[in-house]
Structure 1
Amino acid sequence: MSDIVVFGAGGTAGSRIAVEAFDRGHRVVAAVRRPEATSYLPPGVRVVTGDATSERSVRELAPDADALVVAIGGGDRTLWPDAARTLLDVLSGMPAAPRVIHVGGGSTLLTPSGTRLLDEPGFPAEYREAALGQSDALDVYRSAADGVTWTYLSPPPLEFHPGERTGRYRTGTDRPVTDDDGRSVLSCEDLAVVVVDEIESPRFRNMRFTAAY
């Protein structure tokens, strides 16, 4: 059993991660900005006011945690790199720091030619700032000093929606995992499975990975 803090547990991905971890017997803290809006979480999940970009919040929650999951959204480009820097700054000073699992952007994955998907012609302008923010966060993690263990998980870049929990998936690193038809697909429910599996049995320490069917 692990102690898991989920920042952003009020969101689509974060709520499913919190439920998946709780259902598998872990102690879960849901760190959200609006605790009153989390009635859908199981009663055994402890809900607190928390913010991954707040040094105070991280300092309060990190000492009792084995893993800090970052599944936040809704801000401008600075949100995700600010969270990454805050976590790394706080955890670098802890003798037994929890691990960070950051749910990042699928558009930071690479095309066959090695360019980022977000840099491809026709990438939707309305998603570009968020995509760049997630890319900035990945750069922050990759430049982290020794002593903090992090993992950055990129979902599929396009076909990633609420759906069925199957418990199956395949993993890759910097390029999308595709099926025989070239599609990269994963439900939010199975993304939660991926996150909790990685907490229970780490395979991608200090690196980015992705998952799809």
Structure 2
Amino acid sequence: MANYNLTTRQKEVLQRLVESVKSGRAQEPLIVVCTFQDCEVIGVGTFEHSLSGDMEILCDADLLGLKYNSRGDEIFTIKQSGYDAVETNFVAPELPPSSQINIGAIIHEMNNGNVQAVGFSSHSELQQTVNDPAILKEKIDDLANELLDAIKTELPAEKLIAYIKSLDELKQQLVAEKSSPSILERLFRALSFTGDVEGTISLMTRAWPYVYPLLVIAAERLKAG
């Protein structure tokens, strides 16, 4: 397994932040105050003057979130991936299936009906779902809602709006009389964070358990159409 590409100091910074928030000594959002001598995170304690750069690296590694308050000051939150990194001693999660596949190839395979029916207890259940408009709509709505719940806290507002738009478009495609493979490819790239919306390993991991059953439904719809 791969480790996060962080220095010992950067790991120690994140460990202190996580421990302080978990213990209740510090509250999010975390605020950094720097002087000529050192830096301080309110509720956590003092750090070396290099803290600002370390916090930036932790944000780039998708372990911290960065926003700005009404005064324009940087404020930080610890992402779930940050808590996970400390808990696993900074072992990076394995790449999810969505980052190892070619979405276009899957769409091509759809036309031959060769996508495995993961997410359904049997192929007959999948066929029953696809062939019953009421059951199909309910299944798609449930998966879409679960997908949105899994990722919405990790996306800034403007990207969340774009994601919801793609998700709504996919729902329409999956219940349409005839779906377009090219449109499905574009939408699945966006929703699995390999295309229209810039994604991260953490987001792909969260999204894939719900994206893949939708992909299976799309495969069966194309096969039937």
Return the TM-score normalized by structure 2: 0.23
Return the TM-score normalized by structure 1: 0.24
Rg larger in structure: 2
Q: Which has the higher helix share?
A: 2
Q: Which has the higher strand share?
A: 1
